[in-house]
């Protein structure tokens, strides 16, 4: 399975997902991104909420 377009994701975007079966056939479906806000994108870019918070605390220190 491969989800495309995550490098330019926006809140609530639709992204294509390619499913490759054992016989080699491929099916593409569309998924709705459940990143709802720009802040959630920042969390993902930083490796999660904990990493985001720790980086911000380190910058403030």
pLDDT (0 to 100) of residue 38: 87
**C-alpha distance from residue 18 to each of 28, 30, 58, 59 (Å):** 4, 9, 39, 39
pLDDT (0 to 100) of residue 60: 92
Q: Which two tokens stand for residue 37?
A: 């806000």
Could you list the pLDDT tens digit for every one of the 61 residues in the chain?
898 888 888 888 999 999 999 999 999 999 998 888 988 888 888 888 999 999 999 999 8
Number of structural domains found in the chain:
1
pLDDT (0 to 100) of residue 41: 87
pLDDT (0 to 100) of residue 14: 94
Range(s) of the domain holding residue 28: 2-60
pLDDT (0 to 100) of residue 8: 86
């Amino acid at each position: 399975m491969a989800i495309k377009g995550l490098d330019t994701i926006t809140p609530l975007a639709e992204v294509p997902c390619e499913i490759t079966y054992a016989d080699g056939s491929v099916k593409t479906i569309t998924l709705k991104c459940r990143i709802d806000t720009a802040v959630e994108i920042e969390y993902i870019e930083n490796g999660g909420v904990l990493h985001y918070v720790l980086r911000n605390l380190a910058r403030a220190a």
